[in-house]
Amino acid sequence: MSTARKIRPLVAGNWKMNGLKAGLGEACKVRDALKAGGGSAGAEADVMICPPATLVAALAQDAVGSRLLVGGQDCHAKASGANTGDIAAEMLADAGATAVIVGHSERRMDHGELDAEIRAKAEAAHRAGLIAIICVGETAGERAIGLTLQVVGRQLAGAVPKGATAANTVVAYEPVWAIGTGLTPTAADVAQVHQFMREALSKQLGSEANSMRLLYGGSVKASNAKELMGVANVDGALVGGASLKADDFCGILAAYCK
């Protein structure tokens, strides 16, 4: 684990467009596992679940008094306005969220989001007092022609606000080709990208980058979590499908047992 910098890890589950009220029982199982304390899974990490916007308030209420944090999956750059169907960062904060994911590859691909828009959303998160979890990552085609670092560097430069701090910003490296495919880069590949991100962010943000949490995401599961979370400069995980079931998610959290 990334203990040399004494960064407290974060493991965040992104439920994506999944989950009804009946499914909150799985999140409550995670909450209860965290309450166990001692040597329980996730004892040495912050733990978050980012459900659909319809469930943020209910999950935040269920999580009161526990270690389970709640986040949103996206926000609009504006605080209010005639933007039917969108949700403001202030609304997420009002519902009980403490963070919001911005720039996920599915938002980039499905909604055509560009780095400037993602940066504006991150700035909106900061305005509302939320942590911005900014996602970056290359496609299979970009990786095949050796553009991984170039793409990630461009996304960091374009999407991370100048005023970002270790307290209000998390960066998640999610190679697009690994999301939901069962494929994962090697530990050496992850180490290379995360070292590059740390250095690039240092140039952008100065000393703040030394303590900023850098997450890995992309087919993270219980069977590979310990190896991936043990890579230098990996300060936790952004987990997709494996966060929908408490047993699977807690299996990943076991990488951070005392």
Q: What is the pLDDT of residue 37?
A: 65
Average pLDDT for 191-218: 98
Average pLDDT for 170-175: 97
Question: Per residue in 93-145, pLDDT tens?
Answer: 999 999 999 999 999 999 999 999 999 999 999 999 999 999 999 999 999 99
Q: Which helix (H) or strand (E) holds 92?
A: helix 89-95
Confidence of residue 1 (pLDDT cuts 50, 70, 90): very low
With the CA atoms of 167, 135, 206 and 195 taken in that order, what torsion angle do they form, in degrees rounded to the nearest 10? Answer: 120
**Tokens 């909150």 appear where?**
24
User: Is the per-residue pLDDT at 2 higher than 50?
Assistant: no
Catalytic residue among 26, 76, 90, 104: 104
* Phi, psi of 79, deg, nearest 5: -80, -25
Q: What is the pLDDT of residue 43?
A: 83
pTM for the full predicted model: 0.96
- Domains along the chain with CATH numbers: 11-78+85-256 (3.20.20.70)
- 86, 76 in Cβ contact below 8 A? yes
Catalytic residue among 26, 113, 138, 174: 174
Please confirm, yes or no, whether 111 is among the known catalytic residues.
no
Please confirm, yes or no, whether 126 is among the known catalytic residues.
no
Confidence of residue 3 (pLDDT cuts 50, 70, 90): very low
